[in-house]
Structure 1
Amino acid sequence: MGTSKSFSDVKHSMVPNWKNLSSSLTSNCNGSTLSTEKKQTIMNNFVSSLGGSAIGGRGGSKVGGQSGIKTAKKIGGFLSKFVSSNNNIREALTFIGITNLDNKSVNDIINHLIEYCSTDSSSIDDIAAKEATRLLMEELIGQANSIDEVETLLSEKFESSSLEDIIIGYFGNYINELLSKWFYENLIKNKNENDCNSLFSQIKSFIRERVSDMHRTNPLQNVDWGSNDADTLIKNIQQDVLTVFE
């Protein structure tokens, strides 16, 4: 769960509510089963560290949120192309630059999608957004063994889920990765590894549970993904996700 970069690279003075967030994680990293109230407190402190849902959700924080927006727009553009092409995966992949599928494995396709959707990995925010993309792509198509199975899995996904559902799920992954990459590496220096893993596993499950119950208020059909409208809708979704924990 750790990374070569750590949150110590960022000046804590840049982060609102840093002390409360750090304290709530450290005090609960003890192997116990956390109450809903304690998990909510941790996530509330996390949102506060981004300056609140309105600032963090709309890319106004210096320490998180910006890379999530950029990446989610790329994901939305690719998946929207898939849907608009009558679920033609080859056409959607051509749209993002994969014009020759000869000898391409599913892992090759996933890796290309990750690189296409991600920004440069120059900050913790970038790294969290990229890892969240990897997790999403593995969830969506990781079980496929061929390009045709990729098409089938995505088609089945859109039978039960909307594009907004998928983007919300992405942001759930993203905020979990951002929090983990801020703290896991430093916590494990002073805490038991099993306790650290238990803490972040519980937080991950809590995030997924809460975002799965969100109201969907930003339909993404027929969006021009290069427009200001797309930017606004994606920011709306990230803000909505953060508001759940505020």
Structure 2
Amino acid sequence: MGTSKSFSDGSVKKSKMIPNWGTLSSSLTSNCDSSVIPVQKLQNIMRHFVSALGGASTGGRGGSKAGGRSSVRTARKIGGVFSKFISSGNNIRETLESTGLIDIDNKSVDDVINHLIQYCSSNATSIDDDAAKEATRLLLEELMGEAESINDLQTLLEQTFTTSNLEDIIIRYFGYYINTLLSRWFYDNLIKSKKENDVNNLFNEIRNYVFEQVNDENKNYPLQNLDWSSEEADRLIKNIQQNVFNVFE
């Protein structure tokens, strides 16, 4: 099957109010080549990233203007979708109907993914919005992209939740979000002075490091039977994002 529409089309313009990320920018630039980046340097990059968001407690709880707000809102929607899938006895049609998708058997898997991207993410009017939306696409394509039909999709998700839980999925979403936010802020500027292969290598190295770290995050959050529209859901999702950021602080 094909892949769903990418929401990284550059339609969101960077504001002049770019955060003061000078130290982070310098660390990215100095490590932008084709080599394997040492773990210590990757640690420094990610520490600068969290610092630029005001620290794990500020950025993780949506208190930074630079990032971390849209990801909380989107993660709650993603949690609600997959919580419905689990509570419905892995009924993909019931789950999709709950999100407003109709005529499901005449929809392609790409249609489903694109619908869920729109359902889970707000309109991209900022870099943070855009990063949260693109991270949603990446997560959903990882979980659903190999399916060729609605029945395949149900089977894939059933398999996913035999080895993973909802916490795993939310944490993985934040991994995608972190890497995408970094890319949204710095890729275009780096490509002006560095080789494209070197820039791509830098972000691939960061992505791999981020996922290695977040996969080790303690996944012990009471997300079962949660009302995803509640203040408690907001608190728990902020806890998860803050704890993910804590890994790099």
Whether these two folds match at TM > 0.5 is yes
Distance in 1 between residues matched to 2:11 and 2:82, nearest whole Å:
31
8 Å contact 2:12–2:124 — kept in the other structure?
no
Residue 3 (1) aligns with residue 20 (2): no
- TM-superposed deviation, 1:63: 1.2
Match of 1:79 among 79, 82, 86: 82
Instruction: Kindly report the root-mean-square deviation, in angstroms, between the aligned alpha carbons of the 2 structures.
Output: 1.3
Classify the secondary structure of the residue corresponding to 1:47. Answer: helix
8 Å contact 2:105–2:150 — kept in the other structure?
no
- TM-superposed deviation, 1:102: 3.7
Residue 5 (structure 2) aligns with: none
Residue 103 (structure 1) aligns with: 106
- TM-superposed deviation, 1:186: 0.5
TM-score (norm 2): 0.94
Match of 2:173 among 151, 159, 170: 170
Residue 248 (structure 2) aligns with: 245
Matched ranges for 1:152-231 at <5 A:
152-231=155-234
Q: C-alpha offsets along residues 203-236 of structure 1, whole Å, 9 cap, x if unaligned?
A: 0000011100111131311100011100001000
How many corresponding residue pairs? 242
Residue 135 (structure 1) aligns with: 138
Larger mean CA deviation between 120-129 and 215-224 belongs to: 215-224
Does the C-alpha gap of structure 1 residues 244 and 10 become closer, same or farther in structure 2, counting only changes over 3 Å? farther
Classify the secondary structure of the residue corresponding to 1:244. Answer: helix
Q: C-alpha offsets along residues 69-102 of structure 1, whole Å, 9 cap, x if unaligned?
A: 0000000001000100000001001100013214
- TM-superposed deviation, 1:113: 0.4
Unaligned runs of at least 5 residues, structure 1: none
Q: Which amino acid aligns with 1:154?
A: L
Distance in 2 between residues matched to 1:157 and 1:25, nearest whole Å:
34
- TM-superposed deviation, 1:3: 3.0
TM-score (norm 1): 0.95
Distance in 2 between residues matched to 1:62 and 1:126, nearest whole Å:
11
Residue 94 (1) aligns with residue 100 (2): no
Q: C-alpha offsets along residues 119-175 of structure 1, whole Å, 9 cap, x if unaligned?
A: 111001011001100011111111001101111111110100010000000000001
Classify the secondary structure of the residue corresponding to 1:65. Answer: coil
Distance in 2 between residues matched to 1:142 and 1:239, nearest whole Å:
29
8 Å contact 1:2–1:181 — kept in the other structure?
no
8 Å contact 1:69–1:234 — kept in the other structure?
yes
Residue 28 (structure 1) aligns with: 31
